[in-house]
Chain A
Amino acid sequence: MTMQTPTIYSLPRPGLRWLPVWRRNFLVWRKLAIPSVLGNLADPLIYMLGLGYGLGGLLPQISGVSYVSFLAAGTVVASTMNAATFEALYSAFSRMHVQKTWDAILNTPLSLDHVLTAELVWAASKSLLSGLAILLVIAALGLTTSPLALWVIPVIFLTGLAFAAMGLIVCALAPSYDFFMYYFTLFITPMLLVSGVFFPADQLPAAVHALAAWLPLSHAVQLARPLLLGEVPANASGHVAALLVIAIIAFYIATVLTRRRLLK
């Protein structure tokens, strides 16, 4: 009846017991759902409509479509990224460090692996809601008409998983909320500008473009934009694989770092 003692470097063993933790986060979200959805929806839509129609009116067609249609895909993935990142940074950090919710859970049969899996899937779920809400508005505005656009839904979830996993690394390292500013200023904001969200990434200097192509947001943009425009993305499996690999490696690193922080 002996089992090998796990070390902090063991692979995560999530099982299925993480579901009650996901459900806990969902219950809290449900209590605050209306402001949360409005916040997640209003901000990106204002940008998309303002820039899309305002700035777009001054621009010729971009990649063969109107600027607002071009911007739609970028808005979906960027708000997915933001929702997953905010949840894995600020909200997860509150639960881990401020409210000590994780400590309470760790006193039950659940392990830290369960907690982290729940946080990963929860942050991705919340970003799915956020991306989905924008997708609906885009469809309602007639900016996408192809049934291929439905494939954007799994792309949103996968993008959410990748950014949630990376956010959990930052959460594991953070001494306080202030630390998250570095991640936004040094990583999220530059990525937003070089990944083809607002303009085609090939407008950038060749070296920056080549580097930017490796960023997770670039992969998400290159999947979502053709799908919304009714085309099958070029190298779809490559982009999906890249996002998956980022999610898996980042989650493993986040697991090791969080174990080191909490189970010492």
Chain B
Amino acid sequence: MATLNLVDALSVSGLRKSYEDHEVVAGIDFTVPTGTCFGLLGPNGAGKTTSLRCCLGLTTPDSGQITLCGYGIPAQAGIARERVGVVPQFDNLDPDFTTSENLMVYGRYFGISDAIIRARIPDLLDFAGLAGKESARIQTLSGGMKRRLTLARALINDPDIIFLDEPTTGLDPQARHLIWDRLKQLTARGKTLILTTHFMDEAERLCDRLAVLDHGHLVTEGAPRELIAAHIEPQVVEVFGDEAAAWARSRNSLGERLEVAGDTAFFYCRDTAPLLAALSDAPALRYMHRAASLEDVFIKLTGRELRD
């Protein structure tokens, strides 16, 4: 198989998909340059998983153009998927097999010979931090181990592009950090990563570029730092306490923008000195002063109301 030397690993334009009369993906465009990590963010139901399914050729879009690894999707999806690995949102490892049997059986779906798969298994288990677990039954693995095995399984065909749908949801911080480290190693090896996530720190750490999807539309797209600079004031002061909301509302000129959610007031500021001075005269209030983050951008663009 020739190595991929295309400029774009994935390009999507004018993608639309409706179920009955609900438009889940409402005309989105984005491209993912080869060798980069691209994040698709958005609240639940924003259209992330549907977009990924369209990109993999598992769902036929109503309209739009998708090119994956240089192949038109969905017509040539089978060929394109030879070069792709997928870590799905929910683990679907084979519960009747051991870890190495899972990798062997999965590799055969790609038409890879048993000898080649057998040679790859030790390296993959090592990469996933599962060395010595060759013969472990799936039921005996922890949630983090299953996730890592799913990542190893996605690499069995040595893919150029790896899709990860919420790769760290439900994991403890240790397991999450280990996954992040492995994903960084993959980009360092020149792999293209396309991931969806709810964790803004994950997106900020891993992604070269990201897009925010809401109600089927791309709300914004860019590098994490660019998005923060473009959409939000650089400093945030969060003020907590019973009196915080009332106190903040009467002093909303101390920040460029004020948002109140429950008993927390968020001041978005360029210059925090006047606000911090005022806070030093209000000892009943607690506060936290921090730099603006991607989460602030996300909340600003998609709102605070629940989506489920």
Chain A binding site: helix, strand, loop or mixed by DSSP? loop
Q: Is A109 an interface residue (CB 8 A)?
A: yes
- Bound Cα distance from A264 to B106, whole angstroms: 24
A:195-236 near B, CB below 8 Å: none
Q: Is B101 an interface residue (CB 8 A)?
A: yes
Chain B residue at minimal CB-CB distance from A110: B109
* Known A4-B75, A263-B60; contact A109-B92, beta-carbon cutoff 8 A: no
Q: Is A2 an interface residue (CB 8 A)?
A: yes
Asked whether A20 lies within 8 Å of B92 as measured between CB atoms, the reply is no
Asked whether B101 lies within 8 Å of A27 as measured between CB atoms, the reply is yes
Asked whether B86 lies within 8 Å of A24 as measured between CB atoms, the reply is no
Whole-angstrom distance between the Cβ of A148 and the nearest chain B Cβ: 39
Chain B residue at minimal CB-CB distance from A262: B58
Q: Which of A4, A21, A28 lies in contact with B109, CB distance below 8 A?
A: A21
Q: Which of B78, B79, B92, B101 lies in contact with A103, CB distance below 8 A?
A: B92
* Count of A-B contacts judged by CB separation below 8 Å: 72
Q: Is A185 an interface residue (CB 8 A)?
A: no
Whole-angstrom distance between the Cβ of A11 and the nearest chain B Cβ: 16
Asked whether B92 lies within 8 Å of A100 as measured between CB atoms, the reply is yes
Chain A residue at minimal CB-CB distance from B75: A3
Asked whether A107 lies within 8 Å of B86 as measured between CB atoms, the reply is yes
Q: Is B105 an interface residue (CB 8 A)?
A: yes
Give a binary string over B90-113; 1 marks a CB under 8 Å from any A CB, 0 the rest.
101111110001000110111100
Chain B binding site: helix, strand, loop or mixed by DSSP? loop
* Known A107-B86, A264-B59; contact A27-B81, beta-carbon cutoff 8 A: no
Q: Which of B78, B86, B109 lies in contact with A20, CB distance below 8 A?
A: B109
Q: Is A66 an interface residue (CB 8 A)?
A: no
Asked whether B81 lies within 8 Å of A5 as measured between CB atoms, the reply is no
Q: Is B74 an interface residue (CB 8 A)?
A: yes
Which A residues are CB-close (under 8 A) to B75? Answer: 2-5
Asked whether A109 lies within 8 Å of B94 as measured between CB atoms, the reply is no
- Bound Cα distance from A146 to B109, whole angstroms: 43
Q: Which 10 A-B pairs have the closest CB atoms?
A: A100-B92, A20-B108, A107-B86, A108-B109, A104-B92, A3-B75, A28-B96, A109-B81, A109-B78, A24-B105
